[in-house]
Amino acid sequence: MKRRQFTIAAASSTAALGAGLFTLTSIKSVAQPVLGKAGTDYMVLDKAAPYEPVVGKVEVVEFFGYWCPHCNAFEPELENWLKRLPSNVSFKRVPVAFNQVHEPLQKLYYALESIGRVDDMQRKVFTAIHAEKINLNTQDAIVAWAVKHGIDQKKFVDAYTSFSVNTKVAKAKQLVNAYKIDGVPSLGVAGKYYVDGTLAKGMTRALQITEQLAKDAKPA
């Protein structure tokens, strides 16, 4: 797939920081340099993406797919980062489907979110797909798997087939298009920055860059 087209116009100050240059903000304080460089280690969107932050915080979005082995490998590191989530950051996950085969897994995530089970089931979904090699590409298979893990069948099916979940899936697709996502895992910051492991040369550094961009971004 084609790499997204971005512009780094209006990002000269951020780029300068990324190059290791310091900008004096006052006589007593100096801004810290961003770990990466705009256009090289992260991208600046040419058009702002939809942005739904908590007031006073900067939104960070993880784009992922349960089907993705790289997302599976990244999950433990992401979970450790979330345990020390910067106080100025509001975080959300957005499941990605690049084809119809993956769409049931999008609904699985939002169904789990709807019933408050993401935190305890997220790793279990990854394990089912990548370690146990369970096919979760249909609603019937997903429902059977959820019930096996102690989730009430009616409650789960009601959530999975709900208008709310379908609306969230539609919004997820819009956000994926707005960020021009063509690979996962990847990260969006404040509706204007895009970071992934290829650009940042690893997801550990991608998180570091994301954290710095969130720190420097203007909160809602």
Tell me the pLDDT of the chain (220 aa) as tens digits.
333 433 333 333 333 333 333 322 232 334 445 578 999 999 999 999 988 778 899 999 999 999 999 999 999 999 999 999 999 999 999 999 999 999 999 999 999 999 999 999 999 999 999 999 999 999 999 999 999 999 999 999 999 999 999 999 999 999 999 999 999 999 999 999 999 999 999 999 999 999 999 999 888 7
Q: Return d(Cα 164, Cα 68) in angstroms, integer.
A: 25
d(CA 145, CA 128): 9
In a domain, 6, yes or no: no
In a domain, 36, yes or no: yes
CATH number, domain with residue 132: 3.40.30.10
Per DSSP, 36 falls in state S
CA pair distance 121, 43, nearest whole angstrom: 32
Specify if 195 maps to a domain: yes
Q: Which two tokens stand for residue 144?
A: 């059977």
Amino acid at 72: N
Q: Which of 73, 72, 49, 69 is nearest to 61 (CA)?
A: 49
Total structural domains within the chain: 1
Q: Compute the distance between CA of residue 65 and CA of residue 29 in angstroms, rounded to an integer.
A: 41
Q: Which domain holds residue 187?
A: 12-216
In single-letter form, the type of residue at position 24 comes to L
Give me the residue label for tokens 């249909």.
138
Residue 83 falls inside a structural domain: yes
pTM of whole model > 0.85?
Answer: no
Structure tokens at 68: 């993705």
Q: Is 2 inside a domain boundary?
A: no
